[in-house]
Amino acid sequence: MPSELPDFLTQGDIAALNAGTHHAPFDVLGPHKSGNRRWITVFQPDAVEVVATVGGKPTPLNRIEGAVFAGPVAGKTYTLTMCYADGSKYTTPDPFAFDPVLTDFDQYLVGEGTHKELWRVLGAHITRHQRTDGTHFAVWAPNAQRVSVIGDFNNWDARRHPMRPAGQTGVWEVFLPTVGEGAKYKYQITTADGGSGQKADPVGFGSQHPPEKASIVRDITGYGWNDQAWMKSRAKRADRASPISIYEVHLGSWRRRYDDHGRPLSYKELARDLVSYVNYMGFTHIELMPVSEFPFDGSWGYQPVGLYAPTIRFGPPHEFRDFVEAAHNAGIGVLLDWVPGHFPTDDHGLAQFDGTALYEHADPREGFHQDWNTLIYNYGRREVKNYLVANALYWLKEYHLDGLRVDAVASMLYRDYSRNDGEWVPNKDGGRENYEAIAFLQEMNIATYGADPSIMTVAEESTSFPAVSQPVHTGGLGFGYKWNMGWMNDTLRYMETDPIYRQHHHHLMTFPIDWAFTENFILPISHDEVVHGKGSMLTKMPGTTWEKFANLRAYYAFMWMQPGKKLLFMGCEFAQPEEWNHDRELNWGAAELPAHKGIQHLIRDLNGLYRDNPALHVNDCAADGFAWLSNDPTQSTIGFVRYGAKDDAPVVVMCNFTPVARDAFQLGVPSSGFWEEILNTDAAVYGGENRGNLGGCAAQDVPADGHAQSVTLTLPPLSVVVLRKRDRIK
């Protein structure tokens, strides 16, 4: 060891640097004053020589011990050249010569848990700092002894690029010159007890292809959005009075390229094929099952690890933006399934992130989800709540998404969700409500709608928790819409019943109206109804093959005519015969068969009918837009009328849920005149037998169903007939 050492560098420092255990490496690495001279200390494993160049003048540094080099230099601005035994050289600015990047204000907001754009300060950002290009890394790990960036740029050696604390926030940061787009990295964290683990970046913008686990440096700036017309108009498209018909999609299994090893379509291919199909089918929105990066295909994305990274399975972030932009330019909104309710226990994820229960509750009675073997966020911790609220804003701002469907809200609202006595911790008042989760959901909705009122948030909430879609200032959770799980469960139970017994279960189709206007409801037929042995929508239907299709046609028409926005899972629109399988594409061959094609045609027409008739959507969430007409359990017939605004033509709907035709069926209507038949699910084009009403019928002065006039209808077996008031006979 040379006899001369700078006064800031001790034997203990040298040993700790070589061992990778130094707790404050920025105190000794890089340029520092020693007496009246400036010294540089460098840690460079594998180098046989290190040369500092200042003002064009090279100055070899002395090897102190192991991989520690040091020496006096004549200036503050310098580059380092590492020389290796094979004769190769590498020149770079010294990462330890740069000042911190995070501002005091950013640190204050992070510490306070109120940084609404957290992704702009945490994660890996390609940037120019002190006239040098590189990447700034920042991660929250308040209980760590030491955090290092490891990657393909430093041989995954945690000794090379340790990070510095950013004030008292628990955030660690470092600027690494020359590191750029596509670099693979992780954080190696030394815990308080001396343990060590490698973690993916919680705010990383990209990831490797699973099962690989590293984060990827991605530059998400500079995308030239060209969807201004959509963004200006989308507030009306999300409004309660507008038609909203959602096509739920699992991107990995919608279509596959079997000419290319069976891979899923890329974001760019989906921008062409999926968008054009949804546009043709008349849906107003696409809802994507989670695309936040996730390690296990079988989770369908509902166990995310990279909450800020669009999954690389279909392409990089800018190509995901290409998909969203294409949808917008076709007049289609894009919603994202968002999963703030839990996260997986994978070692490279958030679990025990800095050696402590940082993101999750320490007590498994609060922090472990028994149904899914996952961990539950600690919503009462301000930094965790900030992480999640900022993530919601991130997807809306950075990717122009039009809304978030929040998964598993019921599991968040109740501390005893799916738990037995003794397996949960009551709230401060001794009750089961999770006050912290409720406050988080309210804050998320305030933040998202406050940032842009034109978006929508949707709750998948399966209980009778009150005011889910009511404003926070009136005591609600603040969601724009809520899935009507009760409607879905009841009506499917009815449809699965043999028609001969349906008269005993009539209430399953009528009772849901009693609560239909207590929330802003979406009627969902989601992926959950066609997995885990539940069969397909077609196989749920009873009867012969013809009856199965007729039942399904009648059910879909009933759904589209009922109050509430609509959601249908992919494949259900053409009555896929098999249960959904995430490992293969939909059965598009079946979609070409006449009966299946008829269902597909029906869904397209239902979307058009729903969109073009204000009576079917203006009052989806208002009680004065619905009234019962005929309602006969013994015949399993259901009739109702839908109203829009004052000048909108009302729409009358009559359903026959038995395989028996009802001829000369007398139905009261709200006004005299001609009632045009605008839909009949028994039409041949849908796969029916063309039994109907010859285009409509004129009302007669025969009282029925509480009205002074009525029409006489032919109701085909297992059918729905829809009539619209027309001013005159054409």
Catalytic residues, which ones? 407, 460
Token pair, residue 11, equals 């034997």
Alpha helices in 452-577 (DSSP H): 485-496, 507-510, 537-540, 545-561
Strand partners for 414: 433
**126 strand-pairing partners:** 135
Q: Give the helix/strand (H/E) hosting 136.
A: strand 132-140
Give the burial class of 116: count Cβ atoms within 10 A of its Cβ; 0-12 exposed, 13-18 middle, 19 or more buried.
middle
Q: Using the 8-state DSSP alphabet, how is residue 461 labeled?
A: -
Question: Both tokens of residue 308?
Answer: 């800020």
Which residue, among 523, 539, 527, 513, has the nearest Cα to 489 in the 3D structure?
A: 523
Angstrom distance (rounded) from CA 70 to CA 31: 10
Main-chain dihedrals φ then ψ at residue 491, nearest 5 degrees? -70, -35
Contact predicate 649/673, CB 8 Å: no
Taken in order 587, 589, 590, 596, is the CA torsion positive or negative? positive
Q: Are 481 and 522 in contact (CB under 8 A)?
A: yes
DSSP for residue 612: H
The alpha carbon of 600 is separated from its chain's Cα centroid by a whole number of angstroms, namely 27
Cα dihedral value 3, 5, 10, 13, nearest 10: -110
Vertex 461 angle, CA 459 and 464, to 5°: 125
Q: Would you call 537 helix, strand, or coil by DSSP?
A: helix
Would you say 270 and 601 are in contact if contact means Cβ atoms under 8 Å apart? no
Question: E strands of 454-584, at which residues?
Answer: 456-459, 481-483, 521-525, 565-569
How far is 316 from 438, CA to CA, in rounded Å? 34
On whether the CB atoms of residues 539 and 577 are closer than 8 A, the answer is yes
Between CA 570 and CA 288 the distance in angstroms is 11
Q: Cβ(626)–Cβ(641) under 8 Å?
A: yes
Residue-wise DSSP of 47-58: EEEEEEEETTEE
C-alpha–C-alpha distance, residues 32 and 6, integer Å: 9
Cα–Cα distance list, 623 to 385, 477, 630, 643 (Å): 36, 21, 18, 10
What three-state secondary structure class fits 720? strand
